């Protein structure tokens, strides 16, 4: 025996739902999960409905929709409920000929086809009890248009979640690479400033080295002429040449001797010492710059923190000197610190540059001290600059926070410094009072676990 669907409904149910093309960002709607289950009229008798559950058309459905002649869903009947009734003594005899409306669930879950999958999942969670015995009814403008399975909603939600997490993963990768670029460009910017300063720093010794060499060359040229003349005169005398010739040569020696100032000759020794000193200075700067910019030191290694501090001070020297700042360097006893030296250099240079830039008066002073405290190394950088206003103190580590004019500040120095120090398992702290100065303390564990750089 078969139960024909309502004539009024059959038009609606003629074609199975085609999933509308989804835009990536559009919420998936329930319409994509619609099953065109032919509905059952409420006066169908119980036995006939039980028969329907055996029909291949309804296989896989937990429950059947009961729909009134006007298309309004009025209930659902589940396999579970029919089984329960038929298992009772005389259940079949008592209920078999009665209309299904006496057994059906009068308050099934009814959702509009336009409901998003997310909202449907929420409604299901609130409405449906365990064990799950019912699926749910779909309506359009209040009229029955099909059913949908709880399981399908679950699958759709799961698919959506998977999509989201790949999306998130992609966004994370993009974010990470742009962050890496930022770190790199801040490093380039601070190196750029440093290099401009270093050019001055190298130019000064280079200037006097050149000067000394030129002076020495002049003196040496005269001296060697004198030596040649003396040699010739001596040869003439010893060789018993004509006396007049020997006299002429001695005269020549005499004029040359007047040109060569013995004091100038003595000076050349000092000039050469000075020159060596200048060349040494240039060499130092070059080595420091090389140390500083070495990207191959990105990995962790045991390093002498005092050496890193000294190197950063040397690199920052021109900024400090230009502002007439006195540096009080107090290196303490420190065991080797496991760290990425190039990164720590960057932090130290950021802190020194900030300190120097904060000093706007004549008696600038920066104290740089290191100390070992309970298995940790500490670097203190304290300035007597203008300090940090209370309302800014919480923001100085924020990326792009700067109080400096464009070109002088990027606002990335402290953000990057903190990231580097935290990646080393350390901490960076600041105390400041306006008009008095600012103190930064960097604490590093001696055995740092340097996490993957951002
Ligand atoms: N030693 C300091 N003294 C006063 N202000 C400081 C000091 N260090 C940092 N600041 C403040 O913190 C802000 C952020 O510093 P930073 O992240 O290095 O960026 P930038 O130096 O490019 O401005 C600075 O603009 C400044 O206002
Ligand atoms: Mg800075």
CATH of the domain at 387: 3.30.565.10
Q: Are residues 44 and 144 in the same domain?
A: yes
Give the domain-ending residue among 282, 306, 328: 282
Dist. CA 418–CA 426, nearest whole Å = 9
Task: State which of 188, 414, 436 you would mutate to test the pocket of ligand 1, scoring each by most atoms of that ligand within 8 A of its C-beta.
Answer: 414
Nearest CA to ligand 1 atom 8: 354
Band (pLDDT 50/70/90 cuts) for residue 27 is low
User: In the beta sheet, which residues pair with residue 64?
Assistant: 77
Q: Would you say residue 156 lies in a domain?
A: no
pLDDT at 213: 92
Assess whether 326 and 232 both reside in one domain: no
CA 270 to ligand 2 centroid distance, Å: 42
* 141-150, 157-166, 167-176, 291-300: range with highest mean pLDDT: 141-150
- Residue 194 is predicted with a pLDDT of 67
- Ligand 1 contact, 399 CB (< 6 A): no
| pLDDT surpasses 50 at 50 | yes
Q: Are residues 129 and 197 in the same domain?
A: no
75: tokens are: 């209930």
Q: What mean pLDDT do residues 59-68 have? A: 92
Report how far ligand 1's centroid is from the alpha carbon of 265 (Å). Answer: 54
- The number of domains in the chain is 3
Nearest CA residue ID for atom 25, ligand 1: 402
Read off the pLDDT band of 376 (50, 70, 90): very high
Question: How confident is the model at residue 281, as a pLDDT?
Answer: 82
Closest C-alpha to 320, from 355, 285, 283, 281? 355
pLDDT at 311 over 50: yes
* Cα 376 to Cα 308: distance, rounded to the nearest angstrom: 16
The answer as to whether 351 is a domain residue is yes
Q: Residue 138 sits in which domain range? A: 7-148
Higher pLDDT, residue 82 or 448 = 82
Assigned domain for 276 exists: yes
Assign 193 a pLDDT band (cuts: 50, 70, 90): low
Same domain for 359 and 442, yes or no, is yes
Relative to the alpha carbon of 415, which ligand is closest? 1
**Domain boundary, last residue among 217, 252, 282:** 282
Residue 202: half-sphere exposure toward Cβ, Cα within 13 Å: 15
- Both 268 and 308 in a single domain? no
Residues 425 and 388 in one domain: yes
Q: Is residue 358 part of a domain?
A: yes
C-beta of 186 in contact with ligand 1 (< 6 A): no
Greater model confidence, 161 or 194:
161
Class of residue 164 by CB neighbours under 10 A (exposed 0-12, middle 13-18, buried 19+): exposed
Residue 169 is assigned to a structural domain of this protein: no
Residue 155 lies in a domain: no
Q: How far apart are CA 285 and CA 296, in angstroms?
A: 19
Say whether both 247 and 270 belong to one domain: yes
Judging by beta carbons within 10 Å of its beta carbon (0-12, 13-18, 19+), is residue 353 exposed, middle or buried? buried
CATH number for the domain including 135?
A: 3.10.580.10
Least confident stretch, 230-244, 274-288, 343-357, 361-375: 230-244
Neighbours of ion ligand 2 (CB under 5 A): 354, 413
Q: What is the mean pLDDT of residues 442-449?
A: 83
Confidence (pLDDT) at 252: 86
Express as a percent the part of the chain with pLDDT over 70: 87
Are 325 and 275 in a shared domain? no
Give the pLDDT confidence score for residue 301 in this predicted structure: 84
Q: Which residue puts its alpha carbon closest to atom 5 of ligand 1?
A: 388
Digit-coded pLDDT (tens) for 247-296:
888 888 888 888 888 888 888 888 898 899 889 888 877 776 766 665 44
Domain assignment present for residue 399? The answer is yes
Rounded CA-CA distance 436/89 in Å is 94
Q: Are residues 304 and 429 in the same domain?
A: yes
The reply to whether ligand 1 has any atom less than 6 angstroms from the CB of 112 is no
**pTM, two decimal places:** 0.53
Ligand 1 centre from 225 Cα, in Å?
Answer: 62
More confident residue, 3 or 33: 33
Q: How confident is the model at residue 19 (pLDDT cuts 50, 70, 90)?
A: very low
State whether 201 and 68 are in the same domain. Answer: no
- Do 144 and 111 contact (CB within 8 A), yes or no? no
Best-predicted range by mean pLDDT (134-148, 176-190, 265-279, 339-353) = 134-148
**Res 292: pLDDT:** 62
Whether residues 100 and 36 share a domain: the answer is yes
Q: Which of 250, 282, 314 is the last residue of a domain?
A: 282
Long-range contacts of 55-59 (CB under 8 A, 24+ apart): 55/2
CB 322 within 8 A of CB 359: no
Interval 70-127: pLDDT, tens: 999 999 999 999 999 989 899 889 999 999 999 999 999 999 999 999 899 999 988 8
Q: What are the pLDDT digits (tens) for 389-427?
A: 999 999 999 877 889 887 677 788 898 899 889 989 999
137 in the same domain as 46: yes
Which residue did the predictor score with more confidence, 276 or 450? 276
> 252 lies in a domain?
yes
């Amino acid at each position: 025996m078969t139960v024909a669907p309502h004539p009024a409904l059959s038009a609606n149910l003629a074609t199975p739902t085609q999933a509308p093309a989804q835009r990536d960002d559009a919420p998936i709607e329930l319409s994509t999960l619609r099953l065109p289950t032919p509905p059952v009229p409420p006066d169908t008798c119980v036995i006939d409905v039980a028969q329907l559950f055996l029909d291949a058309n309804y296989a896989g459905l937990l429950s059947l929709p009961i729909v009134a002649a006007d298309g309004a869903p009025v209930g659902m009947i589940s396999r579970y409920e029919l089984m329960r009734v038929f298992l009772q003594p005389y259940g079949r005899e008592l209920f078999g000929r009665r209309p299904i409306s006496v057994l059906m669930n009068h308050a099934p879950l009814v959702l509009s086809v336009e409901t998003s999958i997310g909202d449907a999942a929420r409604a299901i969670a609130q409405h449906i009890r365990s064990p799950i015995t019912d699926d749910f009814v779909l309506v359009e403008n209040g009229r029955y248009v099909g059913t949908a399975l709880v399981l399908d909603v679950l699958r759709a939600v799961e698919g959506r979640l998977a999509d989201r997490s790949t999306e998130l993963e992609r966004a994370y990768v993009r974010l990470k690479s742009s962050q890496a670029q930022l770190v790199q460009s801040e490093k380039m910017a601070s190196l750029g400033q440093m290099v401009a300063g270093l050019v001055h720093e190298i130019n000064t010794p280079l200037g006097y080295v050149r000067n000394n060499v030129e002076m020495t060359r002049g003196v040496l040229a005269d001296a060697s002429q004198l030596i040649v003349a003396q040699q010739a005169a001596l040869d003439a005398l010893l060789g018993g040449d004509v006396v007049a010739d020997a006299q002429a040569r001695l005269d020549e020696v005499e004029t040359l001797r007047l040109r060569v100032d013995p004091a100038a000759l003595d000076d050349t020794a000092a000039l050469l010492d000075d020159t060596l000193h200048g060349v040494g200075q240039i060499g130092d700067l070059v080595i420091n710059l090389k140390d500083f910019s070495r990207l191959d030191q990105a990995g962790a290694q045991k390093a002498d923190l005092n050496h890193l501090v000294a190197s950063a001070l040397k690199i920052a020297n021109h900024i400090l000197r230009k502002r007439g700042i006195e540096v009080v360097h107090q290196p303490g006893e420190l065991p080797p610190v496991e760290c990425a030296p190039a990164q720590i250099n960057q932090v130290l240079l950021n802190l020194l540059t900030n300190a120097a830039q904060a000093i706007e008066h004549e008696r600038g002073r920066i104290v740089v001290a290191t100390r070992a405290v309970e298995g940790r190394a500490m670097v203190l950088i304290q300035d007597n600059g203008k300090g940090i206003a209370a309302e800014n103190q919480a923001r100085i580590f924020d990326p792009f926070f700067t109080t400096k004019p464009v070109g002088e500040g990027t606002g990335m120095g402290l953000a990057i410094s903190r990231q580097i120090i935290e990646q080393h398992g350390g901490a960076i702290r600041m105390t400041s009072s306006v008009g008095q100065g600012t103190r930064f303390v960097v604490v590093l564990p001696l055995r740092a676990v340097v996490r993957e750089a951002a």
